[in-house]
Structure 1
Amino acid sequence: MGQTHSDEKRAPPSREEVAKVLANKFADKCFTSLELYSFKEVFKSLADLEQNVRHLKEDTITRFLEIPDVLGVSPVIFQMVSYIGAFPFLRDAPAVLGLEEMVMVITIMTDRYQRVLAKGAADRRKLLFKSLAVYDRKLSGPTSNDKSPVANGPEAPAASSHASGFAVDVAGDDEDELGYDDEDELVLAAFDSLDYVNVYKHGDGPSADSAMIPADNFRKIIMLLLLVAPLGAQESLSSYSNRVVGEELEQLTVAANCIVASFLDVEQSPGIKFPRFNAIIPVSMPFIFSGFTPLFEHFLFSKTLDFHKHIGDKPEASTLPPELVQPLLQDKGSILNLSIMSQLSFFIPGEFLFRKLRLLYSGDEDGFSMGSFETKVFNWRAPTILLVHGTCLPDETQYRTTGAETAFLSTLPPRRFPSGNRGTGEKVTFGVYLSQPWRHTHRECFGDSDSLLFQLQPMHDVFRASTTYKDYASFMKPSASTPLGGVSFGCPPPQHTQTYRRSSIIPVGPVSLVMDSSFEFGCFTHNYTSRGGSAFQGSAARKFDFQDRFEISSLEVWGCGGDEEAKHQAERWAWEAREAEARRRINLGTGDIEADRALLEMAGLIGGNRSGGSMM
């Protein structure tokens, strides 16, 4: 008695109300007032009105973002945004892309959601996978009590908002394959921010045995990500139109295929499952989705707004002429191109690369010698990237054409592992990122835990530095104590090894790259089963042992830095040139050049009698 209706619990808000509240919270916390105003102006100018609902269509988004038609990626992008637009009620995807849904898309695609969903929401990787994935029951076999022709028929039509390749009936919502409950951290954090975490539970969804990203769709999205990787704030994607034609397009395709190869063998699997996606991305390409931020921030900038204009002003060009824009890559190399630079930006921050790289050394131009390498590279006081390209050698049992090839192989331990590629004649590209300046190796190697050993072709792979073992990089010219010499990464210095006592055998590390002193041959070793004792960690994509022995065709080193680093290097080169000239012009005051030369030779400073400068 005495109880009133005030004790009764209020009915929970509808899904539409929850989504609207979250969208308003995103807009308020993640956008500035100017960005929000610009976004509404952009949306109003782009949206179609159907049944009193304003929304964006696929071709509208494609045109606005200036996505090239040649990539064929527009349906894939529309599938992504239609799925993310349904956030946090992802089972309702695909969403109609109204104003509130686009707020969700932009907030998540630009990583701004972390300003609101800090609790357990630091990673959008699972959500992006699900937005790209498709579900097809045909791949999992017949299901009892399910006779839907849409799900199982050979003529099953795909929804127009999804990319082709699979018959789609659920947009990749596969809790079994993903290895998580459907309420993932990002969704739970969204409900928690609104105090609705205990009200809206998705519950058990339909069982799914086959959620994956189709290989062709993934290749298309990778090509787009390579294209937008250097994109700056408010920079037009159409300014990169030259990268999707001719040779540039071929290079873009090659880089994308190398990346896709790290996820799957397209001849054996039609798509990428989440466990592999989730294992490879954070190790080999943690910055792969960074290009989405400047791309989708275009929605937050209205070209009709210019607060610097005054009434009566004549219109002016808003961008610099093409000839005044600094190119993404200032120097021309034989290995590095724009697509490979974008590929590097997937695991090296782009601010170190785009418009910052300078070609320090090129074997094609400067000669394949350690002396030339030292002269060009050692004075650079900032991080460097070494790239080496070559052709895989045949097995020892096959006919060998050069004695140099046989001599190099004799310096390696006996082959224990098969090739990591398709075999003889395969083109390979390896590389190393070093944050420390180069120096000669005496008692210990140089480098630090920021060092990276990687492969770019024919498969993208990154081997991160260990903090336990520190034999990161070695530069040793041949000498009486080290007759082999050369450049190596992940190998202990010869005087430290106890395994190979003969100075004629290179002490190859478990995960290592070795180049001989003539820069003619190289060897990459991946001893995965050793699980330790290496300066570099094993592959996340290839959990097996392999070794690639190759003939070097190109070698180059690029400096990461700006004008200050280049100025320091130029000053150092100038000083060394002056010192060398001064030594050549030494005059002891006798007036007799031949006599002066004889005295210098006796002192051991020049000529064939040089004894290291000893005055004894």
Structure 2
Amino acid sequence: MGQSISDQQPGRLSREEVVHQLAMRFTEKCYTPLELHSLKDVFKSLADQQSDIEFLKEDTIARFLELPDAFRVSPVLFQIISYIGAFPFLRDAPAVLGLDQMVMVITIMTNRYKRVLARGSRDRTKLFFKSMAVYDRESLELRSGDKETVKDPTHEQPSSRRSRTRSRSRSHVQGFRVDQVGDDDFEGEDDVDEGDLEMSALELLDIHEAVNKGDAPSHLMQEAMIPADNFRKILMLLLLTSGLDPQESLSTAHSSRIATDRHELEKLRSTAENILASFINPEKSPGIRYRDFNRVIPTCFPYLFHGFHPLFEHFLFSNTLRPLPSHSHSHSQQTNPGTQAAPSIPPVIHEPVQPLLLQDKADILDLNVLSQLSLFIPGSDLFRRLRLLYSGNEAGFSMRSFETKVFNWRAPTILLVRGTRIDSVPDGAQEAAFAASLPPRRFPPGATGSGSSSGSGSSSSSSSSRLTFGLYLGQPWRHTAKECFGDPDSTLLFQLEPFHDVFPASRLNRDYVALTKPPSNRALLSVGCPHPRPSKASAARRRDTLLSLGAVSLLLDDSFGHAVFNHDYTSRGGAFRPSVTRRFDFQERFEVQSLEVWGCGGDAEARAQAEHWAWEAREAEARRKVNLGTGDMATDRALLEMAGLVGANRSGGSMA
């Protein structure tokens, strides 16, 4: 990387020279001298050599990153790396992963490219799509009228393994014809080609002549798709690496989640399935089209690829720069006599860190759900910061318990509610009373997962009856007597199971959160519903017994025993925007099994809450010890004022 190319004209550089010059620019602007030295040292320790070329192989990268064998994700990740390594000439992919190519990979995978390139995250999202995509050759042949095999412009691999992969895709009889219904949000071919990172990189080098950027033609992009099985493997890896420290071992940090315990692997896989359902129905569609990928990620998964950041920053920490601890173990493997020894994998030094989830015992939130939340809520608010404030199974399912545990937390909170779907015909008196309180207009239950924009989805609702919804609230909880509370920038309604979906707050309707109690209102907790305003007219008493649901809303009854999620897609105008994937009306009515509220904050927030609880206890004790009973209200009030219990906005109970 140290060769000089200053004597050549920028417009006449070969592709290799352009790549080298861009790599030099990245290393100058995106890395510290120590990080660059570590990268070179790690690369040299890992690289194989053929002739005068040093490069990294798939199994070497997999062992260095400690990718779990159970995931079988190594070939998929290596496909992504080999494609991005060809940047900015992506048509030359797959790239031989030399040092310059690894600079490209690490710079893009860790988002460091933003320090020098003008393009945004949308172009990076497209780049990730193209790195995972394959092409429907049957459709391309029909489009071109050519019966010969169409060359894959981005994924032609020299190895027999990749040749077999392409053979399987070519032999697919029906091709990958999914999502035949048009998508109103997809703007066509121009949407695919606008704002390329490749062109931004060439502009950085002051290259103005027409250069083949390496983009697939727009009609190829429309025929491209990510195989569902490949994307599922990447999702499992991203869930595992979310919250990982750059110097933390993947195998050590998540040994319980990637061990041979089939139960833990199934739980992680189930979470990945819920996420995959946001893009497609895997039972009906073999892969994800770009229009669905590009539509879903900005709303439902803005931080989906952040799990790559700490994983690839492992290349920027070299253990040769400091002494190894005595307990470090080597990852080198024995080889058979007569074969070339695999490159020695340098052990990674790991500093002890706090667990991602400070409390192990919870009914809903575990490491998998925590990782799922980090895909759309910044991890800085979640990892090592969540504290369980309220659990219905421990404190009791009541408004009083909820108020006691939650109201004094002065930082954002996350409410999670899980239950089982109830039948359309009520079973028992409580279900019947809850059903009678809902408006007569009912929708069918939502699908367990479908990327299609049409259809009710009710046919697949029976395959999973467990539902999990949640609310991210940036403001402290309080009672609402007349109007809802919340902020459009820090209030988020979402579903986690069996379908991952996010419903951002609208700025047109501010009926975000209401928590009411008698005598002014009926007791309920609602999200996205109009604030209940009881009518005094006797003729309206029957109407007042019905709950009022918002277009996109979640409502829990007074006992927290039953809940309903309403998605009225056709009406619009609610406090939360409708789903970007399920474009139909549905309603989920379920019996609550678990209800939790988690506080997003550190020790300072916990101390503030403890101090407030202590103050309330002292106030209650002071009230208990005040000796009233003089018979003179003025005298009694004077005693309370002297004790500091009334006045200064303190009511002192029922004394007026």
User: Aligned AA for 1:200?
Assistant: V
- Could you tell me how far 1:24 is from its partner in structure 2? 1.3
Q: Any residues of structure 2 matched to 1:224-239 within 5 Å, and which?
A: 224-239=237-252
Match of 2:313 in 1: 297
SS at match of 2:26: helix
Is 1:260 aligned with 2:276?
A: yes
TM-score by length of 1: 0.85
User: Aligned AA for 1:263?
Assistant: F
**Contact 2:513–2:528 (Cα < 8 Å) also in 1:** yes
Is 1:446 aligned with 2:446?
A: no
User: Aligned AA for 2:67?
Assistant: I
Distance 1:381 1:33, change over 3 A: same
- Could you tell me how far 1:423 is from its partner in structure 2? 3.4
* Count of aligned pairs: 568
- Could you tell me how far 1:353 is from its partner in structure 2? 0.6
Match of 1:536 in 2: 576
- Could you tell me how far 1:614 is from its partner in structure 2? 5.4
Is 1:570 aligned with 2:619?
A: no
Q: Any residues of structure 2 matched to 1:246-257 within 5 Å, and which?
A: 246=261, 247-257=263-273
- Could you tell me how far 1:162 is from its partner in structure 2? 8.2
Match of 1:380 in 2: 409
- Could you tell me how far 1:496 is from its partner in structure 2? 8.5
Distance 1:352 1:205, change over 3 A: closer
Distance 1:568 1:345, change over 3 A: same
Match of 1:401 in 2: 427
Match of 2:196 in 1: 185
- Alpha-carbon distance in 2 for matches of 1:539, 1:416: 18
Is 1:486 aligned with 2:512?
A: no
- Could you tell me how far 1:513 is from its partner in structure 2? 0.3
Structure 2 residues not aligned, in runs of 5+: 1-8, 171-175, 177-185, 329-347, 448-459, 631-635, 646-651
Q: Any residues of structure 2 matched to 1:166-181 within 5 Å, and which?
A: 167=168, 180=191
RMSD of the alignment, in Å?
3.2
Is 1:31 aligned with 2:42?
A: no
Is 1:495 aligned with 2:533?
A: yes
- Alpha-carbon distance in 1 for matches of 2:100, 2:625: 77
**Contact 1:394–1:423 (Cα < 8 Å) also in 2:** no
Structure 1 residues not aligned, in runs of 5+: 1-8, 591-595, 606-611
Q: Any residues of structure 2 matched to 1:47-446 within 5 Å, and which?
A: 47-118=47-118, 123-138=123-138, 142=142, 144-148=145-149, 160=161, 164=165, 167=168, 180=191, 184-202=195-213, 208=220, 210-239=223-252, 240-245=254-259, 246=261, 247-306=263-322, 325-331=353-359, 332-395=361-424, 398=425, 400-421=426-447, 422-423=460-461, 426-446=465-485
Distance 1:60 1:177, change over 3 A: farther
User: Aligned AA for 2:544?
Assistant: S
User: Aligned AA for 2:47?
Assistant: A
Match of 2:621 in 1: 581
- Could you tell me how far 1:538 is from its partner in structure 2? 1.0
Name the % identity: 56
Q: Say which is worse superposed, 118-127 or 57-66, in terms of deviation.
A: 118-127
Match of 2:555 in 1: 514
Distance 1:461 1:468, change over 3 A: same
**Contact 2:89–2:212 (Cα < 8 Å) also in 1:** no
**Contact 1:94–1:161 (Cα < 8 Å) also in 2:** no
Distance 1:495 1:205, change over 3 A: closer
SS at match of 1:327: coil
- Alpha-carbon distance in 2 for matches of 1:178, 1:49: 42
**Contact 1:158–1:168 (Cα < 8 Å) also in 2:** no
Match of 1:14 in 2: 14
User: Aligned AA for 2:379?
Assistant: G
Distance 1:24 1:146, change over 3 A: farther
Q: Say which is worse superposed, 487-496 or 119-128, in terms of deviation.
A: 119-128
Distance 1:496 1:299, change over 3 A: farther
CA offsets per residue over residues 466-498 of structure 1, 9 Å max, x none?
12211111111243x423x21000111112899
Distance 1:182 1:571, change over 3 A: closer
**Contact 2:493–2:502 (Cα < 8 Å) also in 1:** yes
- Could you tell me how far 1:198 is from its partner in structure 2? 2.8
- Alpha-carbon distance in 2 for matches of 1:301, 1:177: 43
User: Aligned AA for 2:199?
Assistant: L
Distance 1:26 1:584, change over 3 A: same
User: Aligned AA for 1:438?
Assistant: W
- Could you tell me how far 1:181 is from its partner in structure 2? 5.7
Distance 1:294 1:148, change over 3 A: same
Match of 1:609 in 2: none
Q: Any residues of structure 2 matched to 1:576-615 within 5 Å, and which?
A: 576-588=616-628
**Contact 2:141–2:150 (Cα < 8 Å) also in 1:** no
Distance 1:272 1:95, change over 3 A: same
TM-score by length of 2: 0.80
Distance 1:321 1:299, change over 3 A: closer
Distance 1:205 1:113, change over 3 A: closer
